[in-house]
Structure 1
Amino acid sequence: MIINQSIITDIKNIIVQSKDKAIRAVDHQRTLMYWHIGKRIFEEEQEGKERADYGKFLIKYLSEQLQPEFGSGFSVRQINLYRQFYRTFPIVHTLYAQLSWSQYKLLCSVDSKSKRDFYSAEAIKNNWTVRQLERQIYSNLYERLLVSNDKEDVLSVAKNEKLPSDAKEIIKDPVYLEFLGLKRETAYYEKDLENAIITHLQEFLLELGNGFSFVARQKRIHIEGDDFFIDLVLYNRLLQSFVIVEIKTHKLTHQDIGQLQMYVNYYDRIEKLPRENPTVGILLCANKNDAMVKFTLAEGQRQIIASQYKLYLPTEEQLLEEVNKELKSFEEK
């Protein structure tokens, strides 16, 4: 008797999906438990707020009573975290079942509601792991997008309340590529960088922005007897357009911009379908001169973007200083 082997695959998928749903359901109930514990502690603190150090004494007392029976999840540090969790997310119906308790712990460290809303929406939309969420928070994704956009646009795109009308609403500058694992103090050819990106393609597409998928590398185009090779061709489903990426390990020149403009024009005239939006070109460069980019391109154009790449994440202090400097510069324009 011949049995259709697809039944094995289907049943395995059912088992795996059911287990994943069960794990998420249990984690969400745990998250709700911690929220209610935090709420109860806060309410009790309010009753005794006229007594000095009552809150500190209460949490220490609760830990002594609960930890022997329920384990290390009720240490003083953890109980303080539950209280902070409630204070950070004071409305229970705003908690997302798609986010894990570990992700909520990270979000509690984010210092403004706008940023928490942004990272929550992005984590859900992109199905980020805890590690991916941590990386995006640490690399100040929110501030990097704010450099070229306003707060309302950044939040509305993240929450799927609007589709991006400009590539700059989703493409980051600078782009951090520390996941490539390239050694410090070493010179790299463009081919080396491209190969490393292909090896870590998933991380690269996530870092570049939302909605990217891979189409081709070293795409050959033939123009009147001459052959040219495009480093990377991507497609973005949010922008509904092809995205051409050229990698430059040297300081950006106006010739680089002209070359990318030619590739963008080719895709617009040869490859793009009538229902698709104009092709976007990204110059991923080690160094760039914003003024040179501005005067090389037509005023008001939205198709060519120069984004600087950095191979290593700076320290938190350096990153915040750099982002704040960029934001101040943007506000003064």
Structure 2
Amino acid sequence: MNNFKQLITAIEQTHQRLQAQAAGAVNQALIIRNWLIGYYIVEFEQKGRERAKYGQQLLDKIAATVKINGISATNLKLFRQFYLAYPQISQTLSDELKPPSNTENQIVRIRQTLSDELVPAIQNTPSSVGASITVPPEKVISRLSFSHLTELTKIGDPLKRCFYELECIKGTWSIRELKRQINSLYFERSGLSAQPEKLSRLVQEKIKPQTPVDIVKNIYAFEFLDIPLQPVLEESDLDEHLFIQKYLIRLPNKGQLEDHINEELKKLQ
């Protein structure tokens, strides 16, 4: 250290680097915990088809029995949907946490036995276009927060979900930005664009990236860490997509979008 300015820079850079590592570790632990809870619930239901009929009653009973902050019936339903939407996360688990083999191959069987009420956000029969395109699971858990994944889980179309995963990772979007882009029909507009990569550049240039520590500044992380929260009222996102929905009546060009997504996946490797 030659001068005071270098000292301050070294301290700040060390803090930021290790703070980001800590935030990332908390986020990954939260994602894996919630995925495993979803797995346990689905596996319990699969022990007998009659258990799949319990539905909300089962989730209410678990929430009333388990004394863990944030384990509400609403969140349990979300965890179950999350597990069904992201079976590939099993590839990232350590041996001690990993469920039995062939988890991904069991997803079709599981979806067929569960009632529609249990998996409202997940398509029972994946689309032939884009069904095999997925972001590497290690990128999903290291680059996205669980709050992002709760929004992505609601998207039943695998290609559309992959599109937003990639764009979110590439631009380090905040959860608010992800919601805004979904509501603005960004995916559909990309499918209708002659140059989706150009539209992507224009969109990303206008977005302010979130900082690494922002990924744990959400209610799921605070609950996971048992940090008390005061009731807050979040500002509702502007429902700006109504006008667009009225005029964007054609389906997006999924073949073109699949090519675009494959190119982005290559860059992510």
For the superposition of Structure 1 and Structure 2, which TM-score range results when normalised by the shorter chain?
Answer: 0.5 to 0.7
Q: Is the aligned partner of 1:140 residue 2:198?
A: no
State the Cα RMSD in Å.
Answer: 2.8
Structure 1 residues 319 and 48 mapped into 2: Cα distance closer, same or farther (>3 Å)?
farther
Distance 1:131 1:60 in 2: 29
TM-score normalised by structure 1 residue count = 0.47
Structure 1 residues 117 and 326 mapped into 2: Cα distance closer, same or farther (>3 Å)?
closer
| Residue matched to 2:231 | none
Kept in 1: contact 2:46–2:52 (CA 8 A):
no
If asked which structure has higher relative contact order (CA below 8 Å, sep 6+), I would say 2
Kept in 1: contact 2:39–2:83 (CA 8 A):
yes
| Residue matched to 1:126 | 171
Q: CA deviation at 1:48?
A: 2.7
Paired positions, count: 175
Q: CA deviation at 1:75?
A: 0.9
Q: Which secondary structure state, in structure 1, belongs to the residue aligned with residue 198 of structure 2?
A: coil
1:140-182 CA-to-partner distances (Å, cap 9, x unmatched) read 1111010025xxxxxxxxxxxxxxxxxx22334xxxxxxxxxx
Structure 1 residues 317 and 48 mapped into 2: Cα distance closer, same or farther (>3 Å)?
farther
Q: Which secondary structure state, in structure 2, belongs to the residue aligned with residue 145 of structure 1?
A: helix
Q: Is the aligned partner of 1:103 residue 2:148?
A: yes
| Residue matched to 1:85 | 82
Larger Rg: 1
| Residue matched to 2:247 | 322
| Residue matched to 2:203 | 209
Distance 2:248 2:156 in 1: 15
Q: Is the aligned partner of 1:117 residue 2:115?
A: no
* 1:209 counterpart letter in structure 2: V
| Residue matched to 1:30 | 30
Structure 1 residues 140 and 50 mapped into 2: Cα distance closer, same or farther (>3 Å)?
same
1:14-33 CA-to-partner distances (Å, cap 9, x unmatched) read 10221122012111111100
Q: Is the aligned partner of 1:70 residue 2:68?
A: yes
Equivalent positions of 1:134-213 (< 5 A) are 134-149=179-194, 168-172=195-199, 208-210=202-204
Q: CA deviation at 1:9?
A: 1.4
Kept in 2: contact 1:38–1:79 (CA 8 A):
yes
Unaligned runs of 5+ in 1: 150-167, 173-205, 214-312
Unaligned runs of 5+ in 2: 92-136, 208-237, 257-269
Tell me which protein shows more helix as a share of its residues. Answer: 2
* 1:22 counterpart letter in structure 2: A
Structure 1 residues 3 and 210 mapped into 2: Cα distance closer, same or farther (>3 Å)?
closer
Kept in 1: contact 2:190–2:196 (CA 8 A):
yes
Kept in 2: contact 1:48–1:54 (CA 8 A):
no
Kept in 2: contact 1:171–1:208 (CA 8 A):
yes
Distance 1:113 1:8 in 2: 47
Structure 1 residues 51 and 70 mapped into 2: Cα distance closer, same or farther (>3 Å)?
closer
TM-score normalised by structure 2 residue count = 0.58
Q: Which secondary structure state, in structure 2, belongs to the residue aligned with residue 171 of structure 1?
A: helix
Structure 1 residues 51 and 131 mapped into 2: Cα distance closer, same or farther (>3 Å)?
closer
| Residue matched to 1:39 | 39
Q: CA deviation at 1:211?
A: 6.1
- Runs of 4+ in structure 1 deviating by more than 6 angstroms, as ranges, are none
| Residue matched to 2:6 | 6
Kept in 2: contact 1:103–1:130 (CA 8 A):
yes
